[in-house]
Amino acid sequence: MYHNVLIAIDTSKESEQVLRKGIELANLYDASVTVIHVLELPMPMVGELALVDTYFNSEEYTKLIKDTMLALIKKVDLPESSLHILNGLPASTVVNYAEKNKMDLIVTGSHGKNGLKLLLGSIASGILHKAKCDVFVYRFHGEA
């Protein structure tokens, strides 16, 4: 039986499918739903080694991601308070959050924003192998 379901999403078009599946699973057990998105901020380049513009505004980027995530959770009728945006390495950050907040189930997608046709994406695989709670990896079906 699950009481606390953590849904880990990225900015891919398939994230809505993951959210809907996570909510469906939570509803089966009358469990609470928490949504997490982990920001991987770009690594800064050093001076002349950078062949591109190195200016990066992390506040603007974070606001853009937050607005995107808020629009997504609004589409599935979740409250803003259910969304948590954290910085770090995705798999480790999701697993650590789940442990600290006593999550019973983590729901994530089989592949992320790169859309790679892999059996299991590296982030999902990392979550699956590191988590101490149950993990449901959603396999995407067609268009979101």
Query: Is 39 within a domain?
Result: no
- The Cβ of residue 115 has, within 10 Å, a number of other Cβ atoms equal to 12
Query: Is 48 within a domain?
Result: no
Tokens 């907040």 -> residue = 101
pLDDT, tens digit, 9 for 90 and up, residues 108-132: 998 644 444 444 578 899 999 999 9
Query: Is 15 within a domain?
Result: yes
Query: Is 81 within a domain?
Result: no
Q: Are strands 32-39 and 4-8 parallel, antiparallel or unpaired?
A: parallel
Name the CA radius of gyration of the chain, rounded: 16
Rounded to an integer, what distance in angstroms lies between the CA atom of residue 130 and that of residue 97?
Answer: 12
According to DSSP H, which parts of the chain are helical?
15-29, 58-75, 90-100, 122-130
Q: Are strands 32-39 and 105-109 parallel, antiparallel or unpaired?
A: unpaired
pTM value is 0.85
Domain count within the chain:
1
Query: Is 50 within a domain?
Result: no
Please give the residue range of the domain that contains residue 21. 4-31+86-138
Amino acid present at 107: V
CATH number of the domain enclosing 91? 3.40.50.620
Kindly give the parts of the chain with pLDDT less than 50: 112-119, 144
